[in-house]
Structure 1
Amino acid sequence: MAAEPDFLQLNDLACESVGGKRPAPQFIASAFTEFGKWMDGWETRRKRTAGHDWCIIELGVPGQIYGIDLDTSFFTGNHAPFASIQAACLEHPPAFTLEGDRTGMAASDAQLAAITKLVSEAWPELVGVSQLSPGYSNCCHNHFKVNFQQRVTHLRLNMYPDGGLARLRVYGVGQRDWSSVPPTQDVDLVALTNGGVCLGYSDAHFGHPRNMIGPGRADNMADGWETARRLDRPQILEVDQRGILQVPGWEWAVFRLGHHGIISSVEVDTNHFKGNFPDSCRIEACTLTPEEEAQCIRTKWISGNWQLLLPPQKLRPHHRHHYSQTVLALSRPVSHVRVIIAPDGGISRLRLWGRPTAAPTQQNRPASKL
């Protein structure tokens, strides 16, 4: 079985929390509508006119795209046999209205007129015309690595000539126009929408750490980071004078901030984690060049010059924890953070509020221990 591509660890720029659909596709054998079999995805009619089917998609988070997953799950006799993807960066797209539910119908004349102004058929390609596998469980994920350096806001998904697709996953890193951010404004430097991205972690058995930087509060436990229970937990647990468990192991996740900055406050939210929240957490930070970051990724983050940002804190279940600047132990600009929980458990959201700063030069960077 082929190894999964590395880009699957990045953010889904079209996920449910930013307007897309997150859950895995499902199949209900008895589900039918007036238009035919209900399928969990996009399925077009069997085409009986010239051309091919296509749609325009606005990303929930504009950014740089590194990979695509065209998932044909359950489309086994009706999947799109071929597809391609084009892209554009539209800062001011023309007004467009979906005009209600048009299931079973083609786009209206007004919709087509609005889309014509985009000249989308001439957009550059992210994925050329490629054959897709049918929606059986062992081949439904059609992965495509993307080498496109520009910021993307919209996609054109073409299927040739017709058929069905269950999910479109767009993996990349958000990009924000930081020139529009006032220098006195605090922003969440690690937010998905501001360009934050998870680069590594120790365990993600029940939920990926990238969920922690998603918009809003988590809908449920699945919309957070949750690890398996560590097997090195002592048989009899003991605590220190602060009530923090004394355990030999911990779990961690590393994030690159969307922008270098000075972090002035931290929020750790255990919303929905009532019997499986971590006992404690701490946060470390550092400044890395792109070359140093690449080395850390290669070594699975066993190296680095981490400094304490948030000292160990006892956590509570289903609670929004706020830590002000008076609690934090670091006041210089940083580019990366490592969230450490002990011994294990789940966090729904992480917010790192601060002000963006220019990237430090070699002269004023702390000495590296890489």
Structure 2
Amino acid sequence: MADTPKEGKMNRLLDFTQLVDMASESVGGRILFATDDFFAPAENLLKSDSPSFNEHEYTEFGKWMDGWETRRKRIPGHDWCVIKLGIQGVIQGFDVDISHFSGSHAPRMSIQAANVEDSKLPEIPPRGVRTGMAATVDECEAIAKLKSEDWVYLVPMTELKLGSPASSHNYFLVSSQHRWTLVRLNIFPDGGVARFRVYGTGQRDWIATDTTDPVDLVTIAFGGVCVGFSNAHFGHPNNMIGVGRPRSMADGWETARRLDRPPVLENDEKGLLLVPGCEWAVFRLAHPGVITQIEIDTKYFKGNAPDSCKVDGCILTMQEEEDMVKNKWGLQTHKWKVLLPMTKLSPNQSHLLDSLTPELQDVITHARITIFPDGGVGRLRLRGFPSSICLLRPREKPAMRFSVRPSFRANL
């Protein structure tokens, strides 16, 4: 994720840097090929953390750099690399970060993309340790089968501009709505790039979804996204719907401590804290559906897990969602239906809970998790069955009928 917004700054989808980095090593992104890795390997491009700089650190090949840096080219051509996205889907923007590469950054770049099924990928030799190396003949012959020079250009050749030494981001907005699986980063003619972020939303082939087992309908890998939140002081809510298990507290959603907490805390008769406030996050599901199982994981949140939480769901059109975003989700709440009632949480533990599906006959498009009074959650999983409804349309269109296919209903 990019720098997390603080309290009061809503997650607007037009701000693509708040979407998932589809190429990050943390979601399974990897380098398939690079023409040259002499000073620093291309794998550094996909690191999830920010680039660092050590003025006095050198390797046997030259200055150590936290990025991808090729040798000064003395032969015809330019350098480039191919990245397999960890999350495959719609790309909405790029960040080509040349921080700390003052005097050695790549002066220009372009970006291409393709949608290639895994079964059609050529067998490319494993990369291994790359520093000090250029691509081998075998690697070049293997990658040539992809004909990546003919891929679609998402960003034409563009000059890269240095900002401050420690923060030189170059952002590029993308309007394509196609699904992409591979990206080619070209640099002209050579040089260094610290990080390469590919921001967008996942996209799954729902027609091929197995109807016998519930699927996580909110995961960021399939296209789920946070569309509003009350506070994200230490971690963005999108982290909760990330890939795999959380790796640390930094890989979850954590709010600031609420200042309206009572001086002395007390419990009610059910053991829940008596507090006036709460924090919340709203998600658009990757696909409308019926939620049957909820997982709330507080792994690593040992002294700062929420006391309790609840989960609600509703149906919103895209226009209604936009209206809610503009009003910071403060409009009428009668549409929300309870998926999970107020439930006590334990620190550092995965909670597997049944949804109140019998009380929610229709599918939902959005879900809201509310935590009391504050704290952190590592993962939120909303498992269920996708519906066969039509695409959501603006309110001015005729009323929509939401239904669940017989094959899905048989599993409920």
* TM-score (norm: length of structure 1): 0.93
Looking at structure 2, the residues matched to 30 and 206 of structure 1 have their Cα atoms a distance apart, in angstroms, of 32
Match of 2:291 in 1: 263
Structure 2 SS opposite 1:110: helix
In the alignment, what sits opposite 2:185? Answer: 157
Q: Which stretch has the larger CA shift, 243-252 or 50-59?
A: 243-252
Q: CA deviation at 1:270?
A: 0.2
Q: Distance in 2 between matches of 1:165 and 1:208?
A: 26
Offset at residue 29 of structure 1 (A) = 2.2
My pick for the range that moved more, 233-242 or 166-175, is 233-242
Native 8 Å contact 1:75 1:166 kept in 2:
yes
Query: How far 1:248 sits from its partner (Å)?
Result: 1.7
Match of 2:339 in 1: 309
TM-score normalized by the length of structure 2: 0.84
Give the letter aligned to residue 131 of structure 1: E
CA positional deviation for 1:331: 4.3
CA contact (8 A) 2:292 2:357 kept: no
Tell whether the 8 Å contact from 1:261 to 1:356 is kept in structure 2 after alignment.
Answer: yes
- Cα distance in 2, alignment partners of residues 328 and 46 from structure 1: 65
2:259 aligned with 1:221:
no
* 1:6 maps onto 2:6 in alignment: no
Letter in 1 for 2:23: A
Q: Which residue of 51, 72, 77 corresponds with 2:103?
A: 77
Equivalent residue letter for 1:178: W
Mapped partners of 2:377, 2:358: distance in 1? 19
Matched, 1:364 2:401: yes
TM-aligned CA deviation for residue 98 of structure 1: 2.7
Deviations 1:19-58 (A, max 9, x none): 3421111112232111111111101111111121110000
Partner of 2:395: none
- One-letter code aligned to 1:109: V
2:300 corresponds to which of 272, 277, 281: 272
Q: Which stretch shows the higher mean deviation, 240-249 or 262-271? A: 240-249
Aligned equivalent of 1:43: 69
How many Å separate the matches in 2 of 1:85 and 1:183? Answer: 37
**Aligned equivalent of 1:332:** 362
Give secondary structure in 2 for the equivalent of 1:198: strand
For structure 1, the 5+ residue unaligned runs are none
- 326-335 or 173-182, larger mean C-alpha shift: 326-335
Partner residue, 2:43? none
Query: Number of residues paired by the alignment?
Result: 364
- Percent identity among equivalent residues? 53
| 1:124 matches 2:133 | no
2: CA distance, partners of 1:57 / 1:188? 26
Asked if the contact 1:287–1:365 (Cα under 8 Å) also holds between the matched residues in 2, the reply is: no
Query: Structure 2 matches for 1:233-248, cutoff 5 A?
Result: 233-248=261-276
Structure 2 counterpart SS, 1:212 = helix
Q: 1:142 to 1:315 in 2, by over 3 A?
A: same
Tell me the alpha carbon deviations over residues 292-318 of structure 1, each in whole angstroms, 9 at most, x when there is no partner: 222222222223632221111111100
Distance 1:206 1:146, change over 3 A: same
Distance in 2 between the 1:67 and 1:326 partners? 38
Residue 90 in structure 1 maps to residue 116 in structure 2: yes
Aligned letter for 1:318?
N
Distance 1:121 1:312 in 2: 55
Instruction: Render the CA deviation track for 1:225-284: whole Å, top value 9, x for unaligned.
Output: 111111111112222111111222111111111111110010000000000111111111
Q: Which residue matches 2:48? A: 22
Over 3 Å counting, the alpha-carbon distance change for 1:26 and 1:135 in structure 2 is: farther
Q: Return the match for 2:350 from 315, 320, 326.
A: 320
Alpha-carbon offset, residue 167 of structure 1 = 0.8
**Superposed CA RMSD:** 2.1
The change in CA–CA distance for 1:139 and 1:156 in structure 2 (over 3 A counts) is: same
* Aligned residue number for residue 112 of structure 1: 140
SS of corresponding position for 1:162? coil
* TM-superposed deviation, 1:192: 1.7
> Are the structure 2 counterparts of residues 299 and 182 from structure 1 closer, same or farther at C-alpha, using a change threshold of 3 Å?
same
Q: 1:98 to 1:311 in 2, by over 3 A?
A: same
Distance in 1 separating the partners of 2:326 and 2:112: 31
What's 2:32 paired with?
none
Between 1:93-102 and 1:161-170, the stretch displaced more is 93-102
Query: How many angstroms apart in 2 are the aligned matches of 1:211 and 1:158?
Result: 30
Change (3 A) 1:86 1:131: same
